[in-house]
Structure 1
Amino acid sequence: MIHGLARDTGQSGVGWEKDKKKPQVLHLTSPDAPGGHLSWTPEIKPCDFDYLRIIGKGSFGKVLLARHKETTKYYAVKVLQKKIILKKKEQKHIMAERSVLMKNIKHPFLVGLHYSFQTTDKLYFVLDYVNGGELFYHLQRERIFLEPRARFYAAEIASALGYLHSLHIVYRDLKPENILLDSQGHIVLTDFGLCKEGLEPNGTTTTFCGTPEYLAPEVLQKQAYDRTVDWWCLGSVLYEMLYGLPPFYSRNTAEMYSNILHKAPVLKPNVSNAGRDLLEGLLQKDRTKRLGGKDDFLELKYHSFFSPINWEDLMAKKITPPFVPSVSGPTDLRHFDPEFTHLPVSSSLCTDTLTVTSSVKEAAGAFPGFSYGPPAEHSFM
């Protein structure tokens, strides 16, 4: 999934336009912050970028490959339409995504945020550009991955989830569409719109969210759940990598939900004993008995399935990835869906010339504290 787009590209997303006029960028600081107020500043603007291609699309807008004019660096710019977010009452999810992105900057397997800013009617995330393709794309092409390759991806994903849990964040939407490969073949986890922040190790939450194929039984039953939902999802993704389909998949959604609640996963012998044992532990329907239920990531880290992994080397990206996507450079879009890349980039991306109505004012002020820029030494300039 490209920074917030589901399998049907309808879950969340982004939206844009371009022109010669220089809009002013609305920077909003929290009213609770010192000097918190609405202020207009020319620091960073939509027109600071050249927008080259659409690389993803969702219900709130688009993701674009963009090149910063001054530095010529490439970024994925995710642009959200405020009025659609407000209409769907999704402000909290958007602000949670921004908050989580702020915390993820230093982890090797989580997408990094460089800037967030807003105009009167749009929100902008300037993110790491990752062009090795979704894990979903590669899995579709190859059907299954051999165990060493699946182990490598599962280890990088598990370390990213463990890091989020250490920050009291539960990811809640792990699936192959949200897992990207970079140009070297490493995992990059993206799309933090469904994250739950502030969940202590023994804490629970009850919001019904996720993607049908990967829902944990406790979520499906609308029971309280905890961070172990992420380990269930990892089990589902690992199973899909090794066997070609999610563990309880059926085209009939009601049947699939029944399978999740009542059926044991079918573990065929083409997977090692350690692999099957790990899957059984992760796909344990009782979350209190699930692998990761007591010591979280450490339980996975020391499982025999991961014994070939040197975790220090993994975190330092010293392990050679088992597969390197063929990309000739940043403008090579062969691993993106042509359904998006063939769309024309709007010629109005730099405009922000709305008539100021009461609804525009509401949208303008609905996302206080959204804007972010790195310390001066890390900025574009």
Structure 2
Amino acid sequence: RSAGRSAVCLFICARFESPRPQKANPAYGPVLITLTCLRMRLFLPAFIKDRKMGLNELIQRLVSYPQLYHPEAACQQIPSEYSATCVQSHSFTPTAVNSPLSTLLRIRPADFDYLKVIGKGSFGKVLLARHKESGQYYAVKVLQKKMVLKKKEQRHIMAERSVLLKNLQHPFLVGLHYSFQTTDKLYFVLDYVNGGELFCHLQRERVFLEPRARFYAAEIASALGYLHSLHIVYRDLKPENILLDSQGHIMLTDFGLCKEGLEPNGTTSTFCGTPEYLAPEVLQKQAYDCTVDWWCLGAVLYEMLYGLPPFYSRNTAEMYNNILHKVLVLKPNVSNAGRELLEGLLQKDHTQRLGAQGDFMELKCHAFFSPINWDDLMARKVPPPFIPSVVGPTDLRHFDPEFTHLPVTGSLCSHDSAMATNSMREAAAAFPGFSYGPSAGHAFV
């Protein structure tokens, strides 16, 4: 600690100073006094020899301290307010963002009971986990570092983590509570949402009535508008990434394709997304902006009202051609305001698309959303039109049995640190700054 370093610096100075008592000015911090040849001649040779031997002894004692090489040993010497942050060098190193070291809570894989696999992706699995001490339930996303490195997806993983941290400020975005890493794995500790994907509910019911579709579209638009205010483009809106919580509110998830740092009037050009929901400018590999998210919202709203995405075809090439060239067809079973909103969102020219000028504010003012009280919506006071049937956090009826039947153990097995290969050591160092924990006062609430 800085106080300890100051004491060592001043102690070394004192051993070479004259017998006169002197105090270093605290305003200048630790001061090392330079000994000139003239001053050294004032000392007797024997005295100088004795002082040099004393300094040598001090240095030998310092470097022999086990705390310099074994952080876990240092825990025993650090006052209690710091000990919660001490970690074992062979496990992980949690570091909070903008949070002093003394306020971090120690967190590691063994702090959780892992109950079920609830999802699976290219780099790992998502597990339902219960924190042993607090009893809180979380969705823990466990990624294999070697798979991330093999696909060269480190930047996307770090971008996802960055976006997840900001999501804690919004009621309709899945947020990050902790992230940490072991030698071979990355862990995201996320909000647990068990009301099912909008995709599954839509598959079962085919279409939603307009009031229900409006409610979901309003909460989605609110979440997208918040991301845009942070200069983030979501880029992957689809029913599979829209979850329902146990109360019936939506939660957006999966932020791996987000683009951060897109300033007003800025553009990007990466080709990414899901085929059915790609905007024309993305398909044409043109520069695009946050209006791609409003196109996606239009496609999702169309699907909620009509049962399929607007330009859907089983043939991907034909579907792409439809997105680029086919005229939008709107059947009359939707209100005039609803059809007008869809026409605005699914405008092929992104400069003329609804939201191109005023972003979220344009949508808020649209007639389709006139029944929505936006303040009440943000406060989650608007009663959801549908409440999923769940009886508790361990009710997994809305998760795919293909996932829940998978064994948990295979997702968590780690190699012994003593047997770590060079590639594992390389992976361990590939994600600096990944780990995160909130202040101790906000832990597990």
- How much has 1:126 moved relative to structure 2? 0.2
Q: From 112, 120, 130, give the equivalent of 1:49.
A: 112
The RMSD of aligned alpha carbons is: 2.1
**Cross-structure match for 1:61:** 124
The total of aligned residue pairs comes to: 354
Higher relative contact order (CA 8 A, sep 6+): 1
**Cross-structure match for 2:442:** 378
Q: From 55, 58, 70, give the equivalent of 2:133.
A: 70
Tell me the TM-score normalised to structure 1 length. Answer: 0.90
Moved over 4 A (4+): 33-36
Cα distance in 2 between the residues matched to 1:306 and 1:162: 15
**Cross-structure match for 2:168:** 105
Cα distance in 2 between the residues matched to 1:194 and 1:347: 27
Mark the runs of 5 or more structure 1 residues left unpaired by the alignment: 1-21
Distance 1:182 1:149, change over 3 A: same
- Aligned pairs (5 A) from 1:4-153: 24-27=90-93, 43-153=106-216
SS at match of 1:116: strand
Q: Is the 8 A contact 1:25 1:44 kept in 2?
A: no
Are 2:331 and 1:271 equivalent residues in the alignment? no
The one-letter code of the counterpart of 1:259 is N
Distance 1:310 1:380, change over 3 A: closer
Tell me the TM-score normalised to structure 2 length. Answer: 0.77
- How much has 1:347 moved relative to structure 2? 6.1
Are 2:352 and 1:286 equivalent residues in the alignment? no
Cα distance in 2 between the residues matched to 1:63 and 1:135: 18
Cα distance in 2 between the residues matched to 1:99 and 1:35: 18
- How much has 1:357 moved relative to structure 2? 2.4
- How much has 1:349 moved relative to structure 2? 2.6
Q: Is the 8 A contact 2:146 2:427 kept in 1?
A: yes
Q: Is the 8 A contact 1:28 1:368 kept in 2?
A: no
**Cross-structure match for 1:361:** 425
Cα distance in 2 between the residues matched to 1:27 and 1:162: 34
- How much has 1:368 moved relative to structure 2? 0.4
Are 2:380 and 1:314 equivalent residues in the alignment? no
The one-letter code of the counterpart of 1:367 is F
Are 2:279 and 1:213 equivalent residues in the alignment? no
Distance 1:28 1:271, change over 3 A: same
Q: From 240, 251, 259, give the equivalent of 1:188.
A: 251
Q: Is the 8 A contact 2:94 2:179 kept in 1?
A: no
Are 2:228 and 1:165 equivalent residues in the alignment? yes
SS at match of 2:318: helix
- How much has 1:350 moved relative to structure 2? 6.1
The one-letter code of the counterpart of 1:342 is H
SS at match of 2:168: coil
Cα distance in 1 between the residues matched to 2:411 and 2:203: 35
- How much has 1:380 moved relative to structure 2? 3.6
- How much has 1:226 moved relative to structure 2? 0.3
Cα distance in 2 between the residues matched to 1:27 and 1:191: 25
- Aligned pairs (5 A) from 1:227-246: 227-246=290-309
The one-letter code of the counterpart of 1:278 is L
Cα distance in 1 between the residues matched to 2:228 and 2:99: 31
Cα distance in 1 between the residues matched to 2:402 and 2:317: 30
Deviation sequence 1:68-114 (CA, Å, 0-9, x none): 01111100000000000000000000000000011111100000111
The one-letter code of the counterpart of 1:155 is A
SS at match of 2:92: strand
SS at match of 1:288: helix
Cα distance in 2 between the residues matched to 1:247 and 1:53: 36
Cα distance in 1 between the residues matched to 2:166 and 2:100: 24
SS at match of 2:110: helix
Cα distance in 1 between the residues matched to 2:99 and 2:400: 45
Q: Is the 8 A contact 1:23 1:351 kept in 2?
A: no
Q: Is the 8 A contact 1:28 1:367 kept in 2?
A: no
**Cross-structure match for 2:396:** 333
Cα distance in 1 between the residues matched to 2:413 and 2:109: 5
Mark the runs of 5 or more structure 2 residues left unpaired by the alignment: 1-87
SS at match of 1:218: helix
Q: From 354, 357, 364, give the equivalent of 1:301.
A: 364
Distance 1:241 1:208, change over 3 A: same
Distance 1:110 1:346, change over 3 A: same
Bigger radius of gyration among the two: 2
The one-letter code of the counterpart of 1:302 is C
